[in-house]
Amino acid sequence: MLVQTQSNSPADLEFGPRRPSFDIDVALSSGWHSGSAFVTAWLNRMSMLFRLSEKFFIDSVVHYLDDIDDPHLAAEISAFRTQEASHRMQHQKYNVALCERRGYSPDRIKKNARARIAWANRELSARGRSGRCKPRNHRTLALARHRINRALGGRI
């Protein structure tokens, strides 16, 4: 049986989960991003939302697993799931400590994001959901870079 190559990645590219470790107590003791309370607070809020968006992203990719015949692409998807799950766990540990120390309400912060994800899961096709992941991730990165750059007076 001939297996069609579905992956567009270079054959020698390998990726897997990164397992970064950082001291949460140190991160929460001050403005961890360039000493800026504003940028730190803004990124902390983003961190609170990442777990939801990462799960949406994972679910959007995993939906297509039964359609994958290419072992290379299947391995990439497995590595992606592992990486995103590891990333989600790091955010969870950080977010729990953040909320406990700062008195934040994670449910209040996540309410709108949960509603948008529920709408997408209910109203959009699988293709529509997966199509929203890439632009949202790029938009998040661009917005973060812009806001941080402004807060730091154009130093990045």
pLDDT in tens, 93-136: 888 998 888 888 888 888 888 898 899 889 988 888 877 776 66
Predicted confidence (pLDDT) at residue 59 exceeds the cutoff of 70: yes
Average pLDDT for the chain = 78
More confident residue, 35 or 92: 92
pLDDT at residue number 123: 92
22: left (phi over 0), alpha (psi -120 to 50) or beta: beta
And the tokens for 154?
């154009």
pTM (2 d.p.):
0.67
Least confident of 5-14, 65-74, 98-107: 5-14
CB atoms within 10 A of CB 98: 20
Q: Which residue has the tokens 């730091």?
A: 152
Give one word for 35, left, alpha or beta, with left for phi > 0 and alpha for psi -120 to 50.
Answer: left
Cα angle, residue 78 at apex, residues 107 and 58 outer, rounded to 5°: 25
